[in-house]
Chain A
Amino acid sequence: AQKVTQAQTEISVVEKEDVTLDCVYETRDTTYYLFWYKQPPSGELVFLIRRNSFDEQNEISGRYSWNFQKSTSSFNFTITASQVVDSAVYFCALSGAGGYQKVTFGIGTKLQVIP
């Protein structure tokens, strides 16, 4: 069975602070995908990143960066110089890589950036 744990349910930071959202996963699959999604108050899911289990390179996209460590089964997400527009719920998710696999979501971390 697959499981995604986001231990931080709510985080508040002051604007311009850096913040890291933690994600730990469990899977028996040798090949899998990891994701991060952003869900603003409007409710839609905004895709942020997909990472293949074979690719452990860290990735940076503007103020966003992701740290994938297979040894600790973690896929953490850092926002640098946070902005009010970053306020949202962030979901870490996991799917198997074979065929048509469902996505298993973590419980989400609600991030509030205070001006």
Chain B
Amino acid sequence: SAVISQKPSRDICQRGTSLTIQCQVDSQVTMMFWYRQQPGQSLTLIATANQGSEATYESGFVIDKFPISRPNLTFSTLTVSNMSPEDSSIYLCSVVQGQGSYTFGSGTRLTVV
């Protein structure tokens, strides 16, 4: 299965600023997924990122707030823009290889103060 390097592992940010989270995969993958896990909650899909096309966002998530880049088949970034304390969460990227074989990054624990 793929190995994902996700950075940063954690950060504390001031409200109103932006943070970019990176995920590097050790093999080429067609689709990458970005999830958010708010404190004490489950994982919610933010968007699906396909290389060479715009990301597809789930209901409740918009590109202006969570812009995603997918410049090649091994890399993606998620930016959390104009942050507020409500954005404090764990953010995880994920890839799928083959049928039902999902790998998750180690997560980025974001605290907005």
Q: What is the size, in residues, of chain B's interface with A at 8 Å between Cβ atoms? A: 22
CB <8 Å contact, A45 and B104 = yes
Interface assignment of B99: CB less than 8 Å from any CB of chain A: yes
- Assess the A91–B100 pair: CB atoms within 8 A: no
Where the two chains meet, the residues of B that have a C-beta atom closer than 8 Å to any C-beta of A are 30-31, 33, 41-45, 48, 90, 92, 94, 96, 99-104, 106-107, 109
Complex Cα–Cα for A52 and B100 (A): 8
Q: B35 → chain A, closest Cβ, in Å?
A: 8
- Complexed CA–CA distance, A44 and B96 (Å): 17
Check if B42 sits within 8 Å of A44, measured CB to CB. no
Asked if B90 and A43 sit within 8 Å, CB to CB, the answer is yes
A95 touches B100 (CB 8 A): yes
Chain A positions within 8 Å of B104 at CB level:
37, 44-45, 47
> Cα distance A47–B94 when bound, in Å?
12
Alpha-carbon distance A103/B100, docked complex (angstroms): 9
What are some 21 contacts across the A-B interface (CB < 8 A)? A35-B102, A43-B90, A43-B107, A44-B106, A45-B107, A47-B104, A50-B100, A50-B101, A52-B100, A91-B42, A95-B100, A97-B99, A100-B30, A100-B48, A100-B96, A101-B96, A102-B45, A103-B33, A103-B94, A103-B102, A107-B41
A45 to B30, CA, bound (A): 21
Give the distance to chain B from A111, nearest Cβ to Cβ, in Å.
14
Chain A residues lying within 8 Å of B102, measured Cβ to Cβ, are 35, 47, 95, 103
Neighbouring B residues of A52 by C-beta, 8 Å: 100
Q: Does A105 contact B (CB under 8 A)?
A: yes
Q: Is the CB of B48 within 8 A of A108?
A: no
Indicate the member of B90, B100, B101 with the most A CB atoms within 10 Å.
Answer: B100
B100 in contact with A105 (CB, 8 Å)? no
Contact mask A7-41 → B, CB, 8 Å, 1/0?
00000000000000000000000000101010000
